[in-house]
Structure 1
Amino acid sequence: MEGQDSGDTKQSTADMTQFVQTLLQQMMGERINELEQSINDLRTEMGAEGSPSPLSTSKKPDEPKPDEGSA
């Protein structure tokens, strides 16, 4: 009889593991979809404002300062 109990326990553990994996995949999939939607909303808002992205404004070509060139 103990052999059957051991088999049932292993099957229950396998079933629970599969259930948890499926549940986590569904939850992550939903979370990823929410994040993608948020990113798209932010892109739309930024495009509507017509402002350049922060990356393009922070990177300017190196220009000498007026004090540096005359010393």
Structure 2
Amino acid sequence: MSEIQDPKSVQDLTGVVQTLLQQMQDKFQTMSDQIIGRIDEMSGRIDDLEKNIGDLMTQAGVEEMEAENKVKEEQGSA
């Protein structure tokens, strides 16, 4: 942070406050950009995870087993 001298007038005080507010806004904007970037990255990872889980379920035949169980249940209750 830059050096802040004791303000001598209202104009000096206004300048100091404006500088501090601008610095805070810049920091919040940087943090916001970082958070959004991390959320986007996490979203991509979740999408990949869902795809991989679906692929594993297909490879393991889970979907076929669920369909067979559903048919057996329907035949048993009829």
TM-score normalised according to structure 1 size:
0.71
1:55 CA drift (Å): 7.3
Larger relative contact order (Cα-Cα within 8 Å, sequence gap ≥ 6) = 2
Aligned to 1:17: 28
Query: Residue 38 and residue 63 in structure 1: after superposition, are their counterparts in 2 closer, same or farther (change >3 A)?
Result: same
Deviations 1:23-56 (A, max 9, x none): 0000111111111111110000111112228976
Structure 1 vs Structure 2 CA RMSD: 2.5
Q: Which runs of 5+ in 2 are unaligned?
A: 1-11
1:13 CA drift (Å): 1.2
Aligned length: 63
TM-score normalised according to structure 2 size:
0.66
Paired-residue identity, %: 10
Bigger share in helix: 2
Q: Which runs of 5+ in 1 are unaligned?
A: 65-71
